[in-house]
Amino acid sequence: MSTRSRQTFQQLVTLPDSAIPLAEAALILACEEYPQIEISPYLDMLDNIAGIAQQRFDPADSPVERVGKINTVLFETFGFRGATEDYYDPRNSFFNDVLDRRVGIPITLSAVYMEVSRRLNFPIVGVGMPGHFIVKYSDRQEEFFLDPFNRGEILTRDDCRNRLFERYGNSIEFNERLLSRVTNRQILWRMLNNLKEIYLKAYAFDKGLAIVDMMLMVDPEEIPQFRDRGLLRLQLRQFAGAVRDLEHYLRHSAGANDREEIENHLKDLRRIRAMMN
């Protein structure tokens, strides 16, 4: 990503949350991997998808009927689908790739659903359930949930509760907070965190470092990311930056379980730096 793109991303994610343009920010995030992409054709694509759905709407449609028409356009006309194979392919987490390939993971397909719905003035918001991102429709009369990864399947609260139990058993207690709206900033952070995990599993430390930099733009108070960035810098032999990050982590994590481990890393780093002087 160019310095200019990073500056633009930081400017966007520091706006009041309701003013953060989710699609634009997600596309600028993708500039980290694709520095030459043009943003406007992807926004035009979302406009086009919404325009086709709008033509099918009838003023008498119920919310469920409108959902059915959005689903038909997204999952049949345009062929968006969940990445059931190669789920951890990083392309499933980059918004431009999702729009180009029509394949994504729950959070990126949910972002597509949200952005199309926003253009239709249809009240769809993100819901960050553990392990599986979904969306919900909500107005004064009714509320229901949708799973864009599974072709916009409509879910009840009980369906969401059952899915959580199937995935986690009793290790996570179901409560209403799990079904509350998440912010645009939280969505971008979760997209980045997915990419971070993919890159770390692949030992792509340079790409992981870039992603953690962006995570800290989204949430500078996320102290564990300073630890993780410091350890990545250590792997990449960026010793001065590693020291700064690990010292910052220790200053703000008095009761951390890994404090001794991080202190040992710092001792090693100071020894290395002394030998280099």
- Reduced to 3 states (helix: H, G, I; strand: E, B; else coil), residue 122 is coil
CATH of the domain at 133: 3.10.620
Looking at the structure, tell me whether residues 169 and 238 fall in a common domain. Answer: no
Residue 145 · residue 156 · CB < 8 Å: yes
CB within 8 A of 219, min separation 6: which ones?
Answer: 185, 189, 225
Looking at the structure, tell me whether residues 148 and 79 fall in a common domain. Answer: yes
- When pLDDT is cut at 50, 70 and 90, the band that residue 170 belongs to is confident
User: Residue 206's pLDDT is what?
Assistant: 96
Looking at the structure, tell me whether residues 105 and 162 fall in a common domain. Answer: yes
Q: Name the phi and psi angles at 127, rounded to 5.
A: -130, 115
Q: Which two tokens stand for residue 114?
A: 């949200």
Partners of 126 in the beta sheet?
135
Looking at the structure, tell me whether residues 242 and 154 fall in a common domain. Answer: no
Looking at the structure, tell me whether residues 174 and 227 fall in a common domain. Answer: no
Residue 91 belongs to what domain range? 38-179
CB within 8 A of 173, min separation 6: which ones?
Answer: none
Residue 217 · residue 29 · CB < 8 Å: no
Let me know the angle formed at the C-alpha of 198 by 195 and 204, rounded to the nearest 5 degrees: 100
- Reduced to 3 states (helix: H, G, I; strand: E, B; else coil), residue 20 is coil
Total domain count for the chain?
A: 2
Region 146-168: mean pLDDT is 94
* 14 domain residue, yes or no: no
pLDDT tens string 108-156: 999 999 999 999 999 999 999 998 999 999 988 899 999 999 999 999 9
